[in-house]
Amino acid sequence: MIGLSESDRETGITAERNETSVIQNTTDDGGETVENPEQQKTTAGFYEYRPEILIQLDEQMKSAGRGSVGQLNARYEQELNAYLEMYSYDSDRIFYLANEYMLLNNYHRANKIFLKDNKDIKNVFGAATTYRFMGQNENAIQKYTQAISMNPGFAESYLGRGLANRNLDNYDSAVNDLQTYISRTGAHDGYVALADVYFKMGKNKEAYSIASQGLAKYKDSRILRTLANNIYKNKID
């Protein structure tokens, strides 16, 4: 699994897998775990991959006034590019640095760093997921589609694209992606998301059926039980 766990804060892409970070152990499809490119001091319980200059600039921006933010951002971009150039824009280094910003809940910064690499699926998927977290769902769909074309076997991309389509009320497209995700993984967040989409479409019978299938598999799921009860109260056509 590409540690970018797609369980989202809205239903299930973070709902059940708690997607604090986009990818923790990453495998590009199958199997090869990416090793930490380096082990540095820890910040809040995880490895610190930012060079000291980026840490300093991040701290300065927290208290910067409007007049200096632009200059600090320009300096940050300059130092970031210099740092990545030093390592020939290594995809693993880009990933770990961007993923650290995910852990810090700085999705804007994480997105910009993920976008520095367009060839490794973990960074393409990271860009897609951060776009979605920022509400830029059309950009997210484009990136998830790119990730799917790179590796159709990575099911999390279908979940992410399905959720982005749902956010745009593209319900038919969302259903197709979420059905694909469930068929490949049988994961809890897929049942939650698909039942939710059907419910939003007014297809209460289908919504209840999916929630019930999920409950048969995940008997202790409170969110699926709540969904099923709410659907039932709204009557099943």
**pLDDT at res. 16:** 30
**pLDDT at res. 66:** 82
**pLDDT at res. 41:** 55
Taking only the tens place, the pLDDT of each residue in 85-120 is 999 999 999 999 999 999 999 999 999 999 999 999
**pLDDT at res. 44:** 55
**pLDDT at res. 45:** 60
Query: Which residue ranges of the chain lie beneath pLDDT 50?
Result: 1-3, 5, 7-39
**CA dist., res. 114 & res. 31, Å (int):** 21
Q: DSSP string covering 113-161, please?
A: HHTT-SSSHHHHHHHHHHHHHTT-HHHHHHHHHHHHHH-TT-THHHHHH
**pLDDT at res. 173:** 99
Which CATH number describes the domain made up of 90-185?
A: 1.25.40.10
Domain boundaries, the chain: 48-87, 90-185, 195-236
Taking only the tens place, the pLDDT of each residue in 153-174 is 999 999 999 999 999 999 999 9
